[in-house]
């Protein structure tokens, strides 16, 4: 019963629609009706600006971190990574936002912040290097997902390899429209870097 409740709590944590809340409370807009229509950090940056985008990004990361740490805080016999996956599913399919959520990147990062903070820092640096070189947020997110799998293999932890591979699949799957736009050269590039 405890495990089921933790998984539910992790899912609900992940379901908190940070971008929707920030947009409605501080800007009076529903970001699902602007930009890409996505609830994630990238559309928050595009629609609400840099400060709000940063707040949404941090909130989305911390959702994953808090959910991953739940089993540890509660002393439950549940692997923290499984709780983290529940949060990512909540982020992608949030019950509080009509099951239309983000693309799994920031909340996945929050899982790694909880269990592998050095890996998290490496991936953040990888993201910004890729973003500087390509100007594509989506491509940089997918590159980070691939690097995360390679990093987890190098560490050699089987649970981490499995979970990171699942998260990478989520990231690539949620970016399939972006992949098509990159191929067609219609994917928007950032202009601030």
Q: How far is residue 147's CA from residue 127's CA, in Å, rounded to a whole number?
A: 10
> Quick one: pLDDT band at residue 7, thresholds 50, 70, 90?
very high
Query: Which has more pLDDT, 47 or 81?
Result: 81
Ordered DSSP codes for 155-184:
HT-HHHHHHHHHHHHHHHHHTHHHHHHHHT
Query: Which has more pLDDT, 11 or 100?
Result: 11
Q: Exposed, middle or buried by CB within 10 Å (0-12, 13-18, 19+), for 58?
A: middle
Could you identify the residue written with the tokens 């959702």? 63
Mean pLDDT of all residues in 154-163: 96
**What pLDDT does 192 receive?**
73
Residues 6+ apart with CB under 8 A from 74: 2, 6
Token pair, residue 16, equals 């908190």
CA count, 13 A, side-chain hemisphere, 142: 14
- What rounded mean pLDDT belongs to the chain? 94
Residue 39 in this model has a pLDDT that exceeds 90: no
Residue 96 in this model has a pLDDT that exceeds 70: yes
Could you identify the residue written with the tokens 């699949």? 169
**What pLDDT does 132 receive?**
95
> Quick one: pLDDT band at residue 56, thresholds 50, 70, 90?
very high
Mean pLDDT of all residues in 90-118: 95
Mean pLDDT of all residues in 132-146: 96
Residues 6+ apart with CB under 8 A from 175: 103, 138, 141, 142
Residue 1 in this model has a pLDDT that exceeds 70: no
Residues 6+ apart with CB under 8 A from 148: 108, 112, 119, 123, 164, 167, 168
């Amino acid at each position: 019963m405890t495990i089921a409740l933790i998984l539910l709590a992790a899912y609900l944590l992940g379901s908190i629609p940070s971008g929707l809340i920030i947009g409605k409370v501080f800007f009076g807009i529903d970001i699902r009706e602007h930009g890409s229509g996505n609830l994630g950090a990238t559309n928050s940056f595009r629609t609400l600006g840099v400060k709000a985008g940063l707040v949404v990004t941090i909130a989305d990361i911390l959702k994953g971190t808090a959910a991953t740490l739940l089993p540890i805080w509660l002393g439950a016999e549940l692997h923290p990574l499984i709780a983290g996956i529940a949060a990512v599913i909540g982020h992608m399919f949030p019950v509080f936002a009509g099951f239309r959520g983000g693309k799994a990147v920031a909340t996945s990062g929050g899982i790694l912040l909880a269990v592998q903070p050095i890996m998290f820092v490496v991936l953040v640096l990888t993201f910004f290097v890729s973003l500087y070189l390509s100007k594509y947020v989506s491509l940089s997110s997918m590159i980070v997902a691939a690097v995360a799998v390679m990093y987890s293999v190098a560490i050699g932890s089987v649970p981490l390899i499995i979970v990171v591979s699942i998260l990478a699949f989520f990231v690539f799957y949620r970016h399939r429209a972006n992949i098509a736009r990159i191929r067609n050269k219609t994917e928007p590039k950032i202009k601030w870097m």
